[in-house]
Structure 1
Amino acid sequence: MDSTLASVYHGNCHCGRYRFELSAPQPLETIACTCSLCEKKGYLWLDLSASSIKVVRDDGSLTEYQSSALKDEFCNHCGTGVLGEHTLGPLLGRLLVNLRAVQGLNPFHLEKSAKVVKLEDKRTTDLPPPTPSDSLAHHVGSCHCGKVQAELLVPIKDQVVKEDNCSLCTRNACIGVYPNKDQVRIHGREHTFEYKYGKKFSGTTHCKTCGVTVFSNVYGPPLSVLEAAPPERKERVMAAYWRNMMLQPLNVRALDGVGRDTLHIERSDEGTEGYVLDP
């Protein structure tokens, strides 16, 4: 790599337990792989064969998960995927870093210039058919290893679908759909860990084994805060609170057979302002 043409970036999982410096030539050559794990995690890779990476902090938080196509390393505290190495296909044997974990990069822009690498791999687990009580499910999905599953009982085309590039969603690549709790059935909650950030009004869950996000939890602000709202706004604020508390967000990427190109996704391009990495 010609260092005179390289730029130095700083990267980290969201919680900061794993941090690195990346020296990479310009422009960044972003890769989007279509294997099942990369699709569920929304990875945007940089091939490190022409770049260099230096680990500056490693608290031992990375968990390794092996699919049939990818050896994946993600933080077992915040869920951020950091490193990968494909075991088959055009990227065989190449060490990759997830550009979503690099500070100052907008994934919306990276996606537009990404080189798509086609790779069809075999899932190691299959979803069981819905039970009779769940026969009305319109969409079924899971994490990659299959331990965490969700059924959406309403058509996704009738739901609001959103994506933003805040510091957490940038790293998780989550695309959210927001049905009510009675419109969703989730199986395998016990196989997840939860990460809360900031005011902790919500929590993002990840499968302990493969790291994929299937659903999130909504907690909302404490009622004591809402009850302090001015009288003229209190009724409206409380109504919005209870509507929010009825939601069971799902990650669209975890739903099998849902073509994202067929959905109207409301994108909010506000960036990572306010995100501060602890020392």
Structure 2
Amino acid sequence: MASEDNTRQPLRTYRGNCHCKAFVYEVQLPEIKAVKQCNCSICHKKGYLWVLAQETGHFKIVKGGEDTLSSYTFNTKNRIHKVHTLQNVDTWALQKERIDWAKVEPMYIVPEHKGAEPSANIEGGKLYKGGCHCGAVTVAVMSKPLDETFEDGGLECNCSICERNGYVWMYPLNEQVVLHAEEPANIGRYAFSMNMFNKTFCKICGVNLTDEYNAEHNEERKARRPEHAEKWEAWARRHHPVNLRVLPEVDSSKMSRRYGKLYTGIPPLYENP
């Protein structure tokens, strides 16, 4: 619900879209200076930062329709999750009001990882298991302890896809990670730009999990890549980055945090619709 102060502020029009540009919208809001950050099971996994329109009439679909977006419900099923992302908002600079709904009944039960375990043997390592919200896709990671002692910390990136999906990244090697689904078709893969990586996600609940090497990209796409792409490919073949938000034992807020501000300049540049 909008506060009394917000109702007195002039409205400005913000434009937003999904990354593939199938859905575009505009919303009228007071200037965004603060957002709500909830720690419940779904908001944390998806990295949501919330702002609320004062009236439903302040939201307008420009391209696509409500059926363009996938829907997901859970718990008491009194909310349908179809989350929209705004353009040109510096989320790192916003004031964040933290809302503690993690322990609201009924409590969320963390899904069990039923897949294999990573083959990596790491001295002093620990096995972490996590997954999407509905449990259809899970992940296991072998790593040095993912706490305040973890030297690499967690990386937040402001590129077009990471900003929209709220990732907090770690960068393990392939042998440290197992991505699993009892029904493999539930693993969604989204590639764009140089088509070198697949952003993996659950097709049911939409939670984003990892960033795997796209071994199926073809020679034609390779030929169109910029010169710097070769060094990225050598790295991508050996690594399987994981979104720390999907590991329930990891409190990324206690880890050192790195902010990647240069990735928006890597060609080909993303253009907002």
Bin for the TM-score computed over the shorter chain? 0.7 to 0.9
Q: Secondary structure at the match of 1:73?
A: coil
Match 1:71 to one of 73, 79, 88: 79
The one-character-per-residue Cα deviations of 1:42-88 (angstroms, maximum 9, x if unpaired) are 001112236721111225321111132773434xxxxxx32xxxxxx
TM-score by length of structure 2 reads: 0.76
Contact 2:113-2:140 at 8 Å conserved across structures: no
For structure 2, the residue ranges without an aligned partner over 5 or more in a row are: 1-5
1:106 Cα deviation from its structure 2 partner: 1.1
Q: CA deviation at 1:200?
A: 1.2
Q: Would you say how many aligned residue pairs link Structure 1 and Structure 2?
A: 244
Change (3 A) 1:138 1:21: same
CA-atom RMSD in angstroms: 3.3
Q: Quick one: which amino acid aligns to residue 206 of structure 1?
A: F
Structure 2 Cα separation of the partners of residues 252 and 36 of structure 1: 13
Q: Tell whether 2:104 aligns with 1:119.
A: no
Residue matched to 1:180: 173
CA gap of 1:133–1:158, structure 2 versus 1, over 3 A, is: same
Please report how far the alpha carbon of residue 206 of structure 1 lies from its aligned counterpart in structure 2 after TM superposition.
1.3
For residues 1-279 of structure 1, what are the structure 2 equivalents within 5 Å? 5-49=10-54, 52-59=58-65, 60-68=67-75, 71-74=79-82, 81-82=83-84, 101-110=85-94, 113-120=95-102, 121=104, 122-123=107-108, 126-128=111-113, 138-155=127-144, 156=146, 157=150, 159=152, 161-188=154-181, 189-219=184-214, 241-270=233-262, 272=264, 274-277=269-272
Whether the aligned pair in 1 keeps the contact of 2:159 and 2:263 (CA below 8 Å) is yes
Aligned to 1:22, the other structure's residue is in SS state strand
Secondary structure at 1:206 match in 2: strand
CA contact (8 A) 1:194 1:205 kept: yes
- Matched to 2:195, the amino acid is K
Q: CA 1:8–1:160 in structure 2 vs 1: closer, same or farther (change >3 Å)?
A: same
Q: Which amino acid aligns with 1:55?
A: I
Equivalent-residue separation in structure 1 for 2:117 and 2:61 (angstroms): 50
Looking at structure 2, the residues matched to 27 and 277 of structure 1 have their Cα atoms a distance apart, in angstroms, of 19
Q: Alignment identity in percent?
A: 23
TM-score of the aligned structures, taking structure 1 as reference length: 0.75
Between the aligned partners of 1:24 and 1:37, the Cα distance in structure 2 is 24
Q: Which amino acid aligns with 1:115?
A: E
Indicate conservation of the 8 Å contact 1:37/1:67, yes or no. no
- Label 1:2 to 1:183 Cα distance change in 2 as closer, same or farther (>3 A): closer
> What one-letter code is carried by the residue in structure 2 that aligns with 1:144?
H
Looking at structure 2, the residues matched to 27 and 175 of structure 1 have their Cα atoms a distance apart, in angstroms, of 23
What's the CA shift for 1:158? 5.3
Amino acid across the alignment from 1:268: G
Q: CA deviation at 1:161?
A: 3.1
What are the Cα deviations for residues 2-37 of structure 1, in whole angstroms up to 9, with x where unaligned? Answer: 687111111111111111111112354411111110
Aligned to 1:77: none
Structure 1: any 5+ residue segments left out of the alignment? 75-80, 83-100
Using the alignment, how far apart are the partners of 1:245 and 1:132 within structure 2? 20
CA distance in 1 between counterparts of 2:75 and 2:158 reads: 29
SS at structure 2 position matched to 1:45: coil
Identify if the C-alpha distance between structure 1 residues 19 and 241 changes in structure 2 by more than 3 Å, giving closer, same or farther.
Answer: closer
| Between 62-71 and 147-156, the greater mean CA deviation after superposition | 62-71
